[in-house]
Amino acid sequence: MCYILYMNKDVIYIEPEDDITDIITKIEKSKEKIVALVPPKKAGVFRSVVNIKLIHKAGKTAEKTIVLVTTDPSIIKLAASSKLPVTSDLQTPPVIPKEDTEIETTSKEELVEESDGTVETEEDAEELEDENKETKKIDSKETDDDDEKEEDEEDEDNEGEPEDEAPLPKKNKLKEAKKKKVSSNNVVLKWFADHKKLVIFSGIGILLLIIILIWALVLAPSVTVNVGIRTSSNNFSEAVTFTTTLSEEDSSIGKFYLEEKKIESTEEVEFEATGKKNVGKKATGKVVIYNYFPINENGGKISINEGTAFTINGLAYVAKESKILMWDGDLATLAKDCENFGEASIRTSGCLVSGRVTVEATEPGTKYNIAAAKSGWNTTAKIGVYSDSAMEGGTDEEITIVQQSDIDTAKSKLAGSSLEENKEKLLEQFGEDKMAIDSSLHQEVTNLESTPKVGEEVKADTKPVVKATTTTSILVIDKTKVKEYIAEKASLKDDQEIYEMKDPFIESFLKTDNGYNGKLKTSYLTGPKLTNSSVVELIKGRGLGDAQHMLKDIDGVTEVKIDPSFPWVTSVPNDSNRITVNLEIKDQSGNKVEQQGITTNEQKSDEEQSSQEENEKSE
């Protein structure tokens, strides 16, 4: 059954240039449940236990069975440690090797055994065989040569020796000749002796090569890590309260201390005068006042005082003098005192007494020039009135004056024009650590003065001006405490943090019997708690593929790209100074975000404790 399943497999041939990321990607893309990996002859990526474990983990994640097709003992040993199935070819069912399994292999390099030692390579064996053949030739040739030849050799061997020295035995001569022949056939030593300078310079070159390799493989390697982070948007809305007593503040439960900021300034603004005034002459004339006094012994008296008002057809006039109408009631003088004496109606209507009063129009203007009128006149006094002559002399001459409505308009304009400017000045006073409650902004205008004053004429070449003292005030709270409260209420995970927070604001700010209340609102972006230093500590010393997968597994990380400084660099250096990290943080719209790193009080205390422990260790 296992063999039948094994036949339904996907065979993937690994190229020498493939790294662990490429191999994992090929596994994930495979559509078969069994994936056979065939490594190349020089498969450096399969000689790392970390990479073998990553391949095994990738297979489990993708729900696939991974089989290695190899006879390489080192790869089989690593596969055994990871419980990864191995087979020698695509036709043999795979097995999970044991860690102590020894693999027999046949190599082209055979071991050559000799009686006097061991030759490690075939090349050394061939060289030794050639030397033996030469030695045999020398032996046979020396044995078959005649005595003369032996004497020549003897003379050659004894050349330069003292004459009294005894000649060597023949057997010893043969041995000495063999030694010389073998020595002369040691090509390596002879070559070194003939090329001393080349050997020296070659040694220097090899030393330089070693230094370059150490620099290239140990000192120079570095990596640049580009990490793409996608943040999540969140909205915040919470009811909070405020107090004007500092000791009552408790920001942990959303109760903040209100502080009032004020600024005073003297403001000046020009305005348009809209008042009109007629300064022409007033019309004057005389009206006749009269009264009927009852015919009795008492008589009567009526006084018309200066300033008494007279009106006709909506036009008002005032008496410029006082006048008294009276009758003493003496019937004997009735004919003398009563203007209607002799009329039949005198007994019923009474004694008529009249007089003239000079009047003047209340305002200038030609409209007050009216003709005599026997009727239509009215007065506040209980007497009759009419005019038997015209009202004359009234003229029109209109000028512009300041009226109260002009002052009120200028006051509103003054307050509105300086409100925002004074607000900015207030904000500059308390800095960025304070948060203003916009709805509490208030401005009061006092000591208002206008030039010209109300009712005064405005000349054609002048502009009326209003000066006043403005007092602008606003309520502020501690922005740092507000942000800490928001971060605390946000209930962030341990591996998450607030990257960016929009300026919080207070909505529905109201004063109540118990103080003030309102609603705190804002929006913020959250993402993984990553910094350049934390990324470095997380990946240094790891393989490139391992480091890339480790970063990609972090929630919120969308892209990871690790660029080594040289093609042969396969792992992240252990030296933090040779690791460059670039964090690219974006919101859901793709806009870049600056990392603010706002933490809660709990996270802050943990960081402070960790910092304190590190300081104690260093001490």
Residues 216 and 284 in one domain: no
Q: Is residue 418 part of a domain?
A: no
Which of 201-210, 393-402, 414-423 reaches the highest mean pLDDT? Answer: 393-402
Domain harbouring 32, CATH code: 3.30.750.24
Between 582 and 267, the higher pLDDT residue: 582
What pLDDT, on a 0 to 100 scale, did the predictor assign at position 100?
Answer: 57
Whether residue 32 lies inside any domain: the answer is yes
Distance between CA atoms of residues 565 and 567, nearest Å: 7
Q: Is residue 542 part of a domain?
A: no
| Shared domain check, 384 and 286 | yes
- How many structural domains does the chain have? 3
Tell me which of 373, 396, 419 is where a domain ends. 396
For residue 574, is pLDDT > 90? no
CA angle, 126 as apex, 123 and 128 as ends, to 5°?
110
- Kind and range of the H or E element at 599? none
Residue 57 has pLDDT above 60, yes or no: yes
pLDDT tens for 581-598 read 888 888 777 788 776 655
* Structure confidence at residue 281 (pLDDT): 95
User: Same domain for 289 and 391?
Assistant: yes
Express each pLDDT in 362-374 by its tens digit: 999 999 999 999 9
Task: Tell me how far apart the alpha carbons of residues 110 and 598 are, in angstroms, rounded to a whole number.
Answer: 69
Q: Which of 278-292, 302-316, 326-340 is predicted with the least confidence, judged by mean pLDDT? A: 326-340
Q: Which helix (H) or strand (E) holds 362?
A: none
3-state secondary structure of 217: helix
Q: How confident is the model at residue 395 (pLDDT cuts 50, 70, 90)?
A: very high
Q: How far apart are CA 248 and CA 264, in angstroms?
A: 29
Q: Name residues whose C-beta falls within 8 Å of residue 338's C-beta, 6 or more positions apart in sequence.
A: 327, 346, 351, 352, 353
* Strands 351-361, 284-293: pairing kind: antiparallel
The CA–CA distances, whole Å, from 149 to 140, 143, 239 equal: 13, 10, 123
At 242 the pLDDT is 92
Q: To the nearest whole number, what is the mean pLDDT of the chain?
A: 78
Max avg pLDDT among 20-29, 314-323, 550-559: 314-323
Query: Both 200 and 304 in a single domain?
Result: no
What is the reported pLDDT for 295?
86
178 phi/psi in degrees, rounded to 5 = -65, -45
The pLDDT score that the predictor gives to residue 506 is 92
> Does residue 162 fall inside a structural domain?
no
398-420 average pLDDT score: 81
Q: Does the pLDDT value for residue 360 go beyond 90?
A: yes
573-591: b (≥16 Cβ within 10 Å) or e:
beeeebbebebebbbeeee
pLDDT of 176 > 80? The answer is no
Q: Is the pLDDT of residue 120 over 60?
A: no
Non-local (6+) Cβ contacts of 216 within 8 A are 566, 568
Considering the domain boundaries, does residue 230 fall inside one? no
Cis? peptide before 464, omega within 30° of 0: no
Q: How far is CA 182 from CA 142, 240, 406, 469, in A?
A: 16, 103, 129, 119
Question: What pLDDT is attached to residue 323?
Answer: 93
Per-residue pLDDT at 606 exceeds 70: no
Cβ burial, residue 269 (10 Å; 0-12/13-18/19+): middle
Domain membership of residue 36 as a residue range? 2-87
User: Which bin fits 329, alpha (ψ -120 to 50), beta or left (φ > 0)?
Assistant: left
- Please check whether residues 382 and 301 belong to one and the same domain: yes
The angle formed by the CA atoms of residues 606, 612 and 616, to the nearest 5 degrees, is: 145
Quickly state the pLDDT bin for 206 (edges 50, 70, 90): confident
Q: What angle do CA 471, 473, 477 make, to 5 degrees?
A: 165
- The residue-averaged pLDDT of 222-248 equals 88
**Token duo for residue 237:** 């809305």
Give domain status of residue 430, yes or no: no
For residue 152, pLDDT over 60 is answered with no
**CA neighbor of 134 nearest in space, from 187, 195, 170, 171:** 187
* % of residues, the chain, pLDDT over 90: 17
- According to DSSP, residue 211 is labeled H
**Alpha-carbon dihedral sign for residues 570, 572, 577, 579:** positive
φ, ψ dihedrals at 345, nearest 5°: -85, 5
Highest mean pLDDT (candidates 189-198, 303-312, 480-489): 303-312
Burial class (CB in 10 A: 0-12, 13-18, 19+), 94: buried
422-474 pLDDT, tens per residue?
A: 788 877 777 788 888 888 888 888 888 888 888 888 888 888 888 888 888 88
78: left (phi over 0), alpha (psi -120 to 50) or beta: alpha
Phi and psi based region of residue 32 (left: phi greater than 0; alpha: psi -120 to 50; beta: remaining) = beta
| pLDDT score of 388 | 93
CA angle 70, 73, 78 (to 5 degrees): 90
Instruction: Kindly state whether residues 209 and 308 are assigned to the same domain.
Output: no
Round to whole Å and give the CA distance between 70 and 569: 26
Do 215 and 297 fall within a single domain? no
CA distance 474 to 425: 11
- Name the least confident of 161-170, 299-308, 552-561: 161-170
| Structure-model confidence comparison of residues 175 and 442, the more confident one | 442
User: Following CA atoms 136, 137, 141, 143 in sequence, which dihedral angle do they give, to the nearest 10 degrees?
Assistant: 10
Q: Are residues 291 and 389 in the same domain?
A: yes
Q: Is the confidence at residue 285, as pLDDT, over 60?
A: yes
Helix, strand, coil share (%) of the chain residues, nearest 5: 35, 30, 30
Please give the radius of gyration of the chain, using alpha carbons only, rounded to the nearest integer.
Answer: 60
Specify the pLDDT at position 375: 92
Last residue of a domain, one of 344, 370, 396: 396
**What's residue 129's pLDDT?**
42
pLDDT digits (tens, 9 = 90+) for 470-529: 888 888 999 899 988 998 888 777 778 888 888 898 988 998 887 889 999 998 888 888
How far is the CA of 497 from the CAs of 522, 531, 609, in angstroms?
16, 11, 18
50 in any annotated domain: yes
Q: What is the mean pLDDT of residues 323-336?
A: 89
Look at residue 610 in the predicted model and tell me its pLDDT.
52
Residue 352 lies in a domain: yes
pLDDT of residue 99: 67
pLDDT at 151 over 50: no
Q: What is the pLDDT of residue 127?
A: 43
pLDDT of residue 132: 42
Residues 387/286, Cβ–Cβ less than 8 Å = yes
Q: How far apart are CA 526 and CA 556, in angstroms?
A: 9
**Last residue of one domain, picked from the residues 70, 87, 104:** 87
CA torsion 587-592-598-603 (nearest 10°) is 70
Dist. CA 122–CA 139, nearest whole Å: 26
Q: Is the pTM value of this prediction over 0.75?
A: no
In this prediction, residue 103 carries a pLDDT of 41
Residue 138's pLDDT band (cuts 50, 70, 90):
very low
Q: Which residues contact 141 (CB under 8 A, 6 or more apart)?
A: none
- Whether 509 contacts 531, CB under 8 Å: no
Close Cβ partners of 14 (under 8 Å, ≥ 6 residues apart): 23, 37, 38, 39, 40, 43, 45, 46
Integer Cα distance of 430 and 280 in angstroms: 59
Q: Which residues contact 410 (CB under 8 A, 6 or more apart)?
A: 269, 271, 450, 466
> Do 298 and 392 have their domain in common?
yes
